[in-house]
Structure 1
Amino acid sequence: MVGNRSGRRSRKLLKWISRYSGYWQLICTPGDEHMNMVTARNVMKCLAKNGLHEFIFVFLYVHRDEEFIKSMLSFISLDLLSEEIRHNGMDGIIRMLDEHLR
């Protein structure tokens, strides 16, 4: 059963990558010249909309050297994120990230 769920999850990710290949390129490319706050918000919203929340954390880590990401993360601690997930789920996290990227 676990293998089947993992397979479905992998297929879901591959379909997303196929549909949003430009976003996938941005997620995987630190220092990309097209990365800015608006693009970051769009990428994170798209990942959230498609239930790929764990890739938001990958995205933030890959782009941790971007000034706007550094600034946002300085306001949001991992403990705060954990509490927000516990109380409001990933939707609360998406709202917080979105608010700090304005």
Structure 2
Amino acid sequence: MENSHAFNQFRSKVEPALISKLEEFQLLGYDSVSEEGLWDFLTRKRWKKVKDEKRLYEIVDDILSVKVSDFISFTTIETYKNNDFNLKDGNEWKELLK
């Protein structure tokens, strides 16, 4: 995870918004999403290229407007990037596709 993101200074101030978003995810059945995972998504995807200074209310709005589908897509792609999918053997493919 990237520890030097420009918005890390606001993390404690926006924690209520993060908790609210996590509660929304839980209501939708996504219990395994953590605060750290949500923050990672925001810093690595939503705020990847921050050009202007954002105000605190804009950061909160970004947090509260995260869609479950965007978060899941990001997590899936990151999982694929971080794992080695060299399934050369046909049996490995069959096992994966069960």
**TM-score, normalisation: structure 1:** 0.26
Q: Computing the radius of gyration over CA atoms, which structure comes out larger, 1 or 2?
A: 2
Greater relative CO (CA pairs within 8 A, separation 6+): 2
